[in-house]
Structure 1
């Protein structure tokens, strides 16, 4: 035993392999702790200071069996890494206090525990006070660099959890509405409508493959930071504008026009749907919405209920026997996207009592007999469409925007819809025009529009030779309080 031990001592400098060779497991002897420790570490064993020396009356086989048992012990598994969900609530609250409002709302969707922690009034009061500084000091801040409001503050103790979160969201909604309404204060003197509505509303349409019902929403950011651009992934509030049933889309009564690739269909109010020819698949969806109360419809409704237009308060006039039949102004816009074919205003439109027929008031805008008021269309009429892969133009189709103002210059009848020109079977009865006659008709619950055009082959242009509006007497009676 002494010889083996001395040999191991002399070969200490030759490394671990030499030391192990000098003291084979089958030999009688001991393995000093300073030699066993590195070998045990390399083998994944627990470090120990126990010396395996043979005690009196104990054979070397017993010692060797204890050494061999060390090799059969499984390696110790490392402790699992700590995840954020297992952290104490105090640490999570500290982390949440550095998040902004949008991130805090996202964190609240992780689980129930995070939701309650993310509703902390102290965190939301800090966000609220940073975005909406109070006009009067309700609580004191020691310095500008103070990170959190003391939890002993009265506004926190007296409120239920989530109070300041709700107050922040409600005030953000009010701030967004106020800011958007400021954009539309300037009014167009010709139409009586907001002139900057395009800057306040931005609509985008996804690509659709299969659809049975289509709902049109106005989407408004729930939180608005004037120093940052609105986040696309942030919370949004939706307002239902219109709902369309597409189950009978292929019926002929809604067919608008077609080209080599798509067939277009029109649905009121102002929806254009294109189907790929030969397939019952939607190629494109376009909306043409009138500006009248569009901002209110896009922001003041809910996700399930549309915004209800406020009722008109009629003003009775017993002096004028034809009250409600005269002094209308029409603003007409015919266009296809960025291409405008006609944009004009026609004033002092009227209707006599004798012209009321079949429940409609007849307002003649362009008379067939008065060729001095015939209006040409500029450019080649066609409705342009575009998808990610294709684009095209449907001939003789366009968008029609009608704004009819009453005698107080208040919007009376407004719509925007895709329409088409159809070839008429009758020839032109006018001597000044020689060409094909086309008609464009539009109708809804409030009235009708009938347009007659003549195509001049020599000049390659359309002329509007007749334009008549038919307004429902029911609408006139409800508006003016009359009884026609």
Structure 2
């Protein structure tokens, strides 16, 4: 890391850089002539006007009123000496100043020292290496024979690779109830993973917002954004949900948002026709819309402007989707290898379902169902029917804890959208592999009372979710005596096309 001397030199770098700034400010992409406004440098320049250089004072005999020292006029050897005192994160930032700084910050002699200090062997073994291995090790540390930036790439790749290997090892532990990684929370801490939303205008302007709240549930994570400085909704075109991870993760220090970070696109949403999206609820302050997959957008009723955004992400391949993609393209899941269906004549059997219904960390339902099956003939309109809770069997009926409602809050108001919640579903096949996983907002709506079963003295409701893999249908009854909801029916309709792809056969 940078020493005290390095910090002084870095501040001197910024001060000298401020002397050559045009009125537009600081912060340009390499090779560009324009600069963007940089509050830190601008305030430093405003407080301390540049002093005349000794060179100009000697030539002119007197100090001119303003004689800036250009950083580009310094020899490359001097600049490289200054850069050698910086750490890896500061070097990457310096490389964004202009094209010359980019090439200087790629110097192999600087990066090979950083690489050697970070990955040098901590201890020696008593057994000597073979001559061939020693020679190969020495040649790999050559500097002059490598292209510019080689050791920077090697350092970054190895740092990222070591974090990914540690995270992958943590994710190997599986929760027996959900079939999902049991230590996802620890994996998030080790990787420093967070999420941002990028609001894009038609003009190309972008607004990057860091998440404000984060709730880690049994099988999903809920991320919340709110604030007072939302851009105008009418000017927005798209919303990008991205996972962000620090390029250099130091476990001994808290994660910083100012260092270099890697963006991985999780999902992209259109905001042009938000009023035509699925309205799932409202209260006296806001209206809440659902954008698939798993995004809630709250609009103020009076101003028709953004109030909050909530994203629900399932644990299944969450870390991969949030770290292995790029800023422009999401992570592509590996191709599915069809599993062997050892008894296709019996249909689906040995399946396991874990389902949660929750809001802001409060759970209304958290249940696991095992040994689920469906016969081959139970196919309706291209869907295989998998009954989890039978309507006729009152012993299987389950209560919901408390009243169902989706809590929300902002800097100004908070509230609760009645009859709305988040549903997490994880369906495992007979080999305990995730067959169908999602986390999505749902809404409880009135429905006619089902026939052909016991009669309930109370209003009936239903919750439905549908995507490419299938449909979830939940039937509920409100009992006035106990003032609680009871699930009297839970049925999954699995797409036969999904089943065929899963097993590589015709169902």
TM interval, shorter chain, is 0.7 to 0.9
Matched, 1:192 2:179: yes
Residue 275 of structure 1 is matched in structure 2 by 299
Aligned ranges for residues 64-463 of structure 1 at < 5 Å?
76-78=62-64, 80=67, 82=69, 84-134=71-121, 155-199=142-186, 200=188, 201-203=193-195, 204=211, 205=225, 207=227, 208-209=230-231, 210=233, 211-251=236-276, 254-317=278-341, 319-323=343-347, 325-426=348-449, 433-463=456-486
2:26 paired residue number: none
Asked if the contact 1:402/1:414 (under 8 Å) is kept, the reply is: yes
Offset from partner CA, 1:98-120 (integer Å, 9 cap, x none): 10011111112222222222111
Larger radius of gyration: 1
Q: Where do 5+ consecutive residues of structure 2 fail to align?
A: 1-59, 125-138, 196-210, 212-224
TM-score (norm 2): 0.73
Local SS of the residue matching 1:224: coil
Does the 8 Å CA contact 1:351/1:361 hold for their aligned counterparts? yes
Matches of 1:326 and 1:81, distance apart in 2 = 78
Paired residues of 1:216 and 1:240 also in contact (CA < 8 A): yes
Q: 1:187/1:134 Cα in 2 relative to 1: closer, same or farther (>3 Å)?
A: same
**1:428–1:437 CA contact under 8 A, matched in 2:** no
**1:256-290 deviation line (CA, Å, top 9, x unaligned):** 00111111111111111111113331111101111
Kindly indicate which of the two structures has a greater share of residues assigned to strand.
2
Q: Tell me, yes or no, if the aligned pair for 1:427 and 1:436 is still in contact at 8 Å.
A: no
Question: Cα distance, 1:312 vs. partner?
Answer: 2.2
Alignment partner, residue 498 of structure 2: 475
3-state SS of 1:175 partner? helix
Q: TM-score, normalised by structure 1?
A: 0.77
Q: Structure 1 75/162 Cα, relative in aligned 2: closer, same or farther at 3 Å?
A: closer
CA contact (8 A) 2:226 2:411 kept: no
- Of stretches 296-305 and 420-429 in structure 1, the one that deviates more from structure 2 is 420-429
Q: In structure 1, what is the equivalent of residue 12 of structure 2?
A: none
* Offset, 1:432: 5.9
The 2-side partners of 1:121 and 1:219 are apart by: 28
Tell me what 2:19 maps to.
none
Give the direction of change, closer, same or farther, for the CA distance of 1:376–1:183 in structure 2 (3 Å limit): same
Give structure 1 stretches of 5+ with no counterpart. 1-73, 138-151
Equivalent residues, number: 395
Residues 36-47 of structure 1: pairs in structure 2 closer than 5 A: none
Quote how far apart the aligned CAs of 1:177 are: 1.4
